[in-house]
Amino acid sequence: MRVSLPIMVGFVPFALVLGAQARMHQFSLLDVPLMTGLNFGGGSEFAAVGLWTSPPHMLLIVGVTFLVNSRHILMGATLAPYLRRIPSKIMLPSLFFMCDETWALSLTDARKTGFSLPYYMGISSGLYGSWIVFTFFGALLGPILGDVTRYGFDMAFPAVFFVLLRGMWKGVGSMLPWLASLSVAVAAYLVLPKGWYVPLGALAGITVSWMQART
């Protein structure tokens, strides 16, 4: 939990943004912690709130949420070699708490000392709890604060990811997959429907990494 504390602080601004935006789309105070607690995927929750109408187009929301969360398939695959000694009945429920930040920190630690379930759950519990709490506060304060993005809070989302990328930096040799992923994601974001840039960018990076590993 101590390791995850800086990220927990970084969660606060965009958790408040999500909660406030959800209230602007007619979510109740109970709806917001239910959504963030049952889904626990910030990107897909922002997408769902952005697509929310009255009545909501549920198939569209489910489809976009699946696309955005599909990155967890690749994230889980990278962790799989480190999880073989942990019983499935323990590991599978624990993976519910995996988000981008827990994955990045746990993978970095696993590469150094092997995968530690207590370390993973210590990170996850802090991030999961803070996400639910501060999205609720965002929903509570949203009607008072109005559009909180005008305070620049939404910049916290990409800022956290830049910090995570810095921690996973291995040198110039690792740039090519990152650049391929970035280029494909930007192109898909500009020309394709919402959500496609996430799996396509991830697949581009994985493909380049695989090609590098074969040479």
pLDDT tens for residues 19-60?
A: 988 988 889 999 999 999 998 888 888 888 888 887 778 887
The label of the residue with tokens 């993973």 reads 120
pLDDT tier for residue 209 given thresholds of 50, 70 and 90: confident
Which tens digits make up the pLDDT trace of 132-173?
Answer: 999 999 999 877 776 666 666 666 667 766 766 776 667 776
What confidence score (pLDDT) does residue 201 get? Answer: 86
Q: Where are the beta strands (DSSP E) in 104-171?
A: none
Query: What pLDDT, on a 0 to 100 scale, did the predictor assign at position 72?
Result: 87
**Most confident listed range (56-60, 71-75, 110-114):** 110-114
Q: How far from chain centre, in Å, is Cα 13?
A: 15
Residues 168-191 as b or e (16 or more Cβ within 10 Å = b): eeeeeeeeebeebbeebbeebeee
Two tokens at 63? 């489809």
- Measured over the CA atoms of residue 185, residue 21, residue 33 and residue 123, the dihedral's sign is positive
Region 80-103 average pLDDT: 91
- Across 5-14, 70-79, 113-122, the highest mean pLDDT is recorded for 113-122
pLDDT of residue 16: 87
Token representation of residue 135: 């999205």
Judge whether residue 129 has pLDDT over 90: yes
**In the chain, what is the greatest distance between 2 CA atoms, to the nearest angstrom?**
57
Q: Is 40 exposed, middle or buried (0-12, 13-18, 19+ CB in 10 A)?
A: buried
**If you ran DSSP here, which 8-state letter would residue 211 be given?**
H
Joined tokens for residue 76: 């889980």
pLDDT of the residue at 94: 93
State the virtual CA torsion across 30, 33, 38, 44 in degrees, nearest 10: 110
| pLDDT, mean of residues 60-68 | 81
- What confidence score (pLDDT) does residue 149 get? 63
Alpha-carbon Rg for the chain, nearest whole angstrom, is 18
> Given this model, what pLDDT does residue 61 score?
83
Residue 184's pLDDT is what?
94
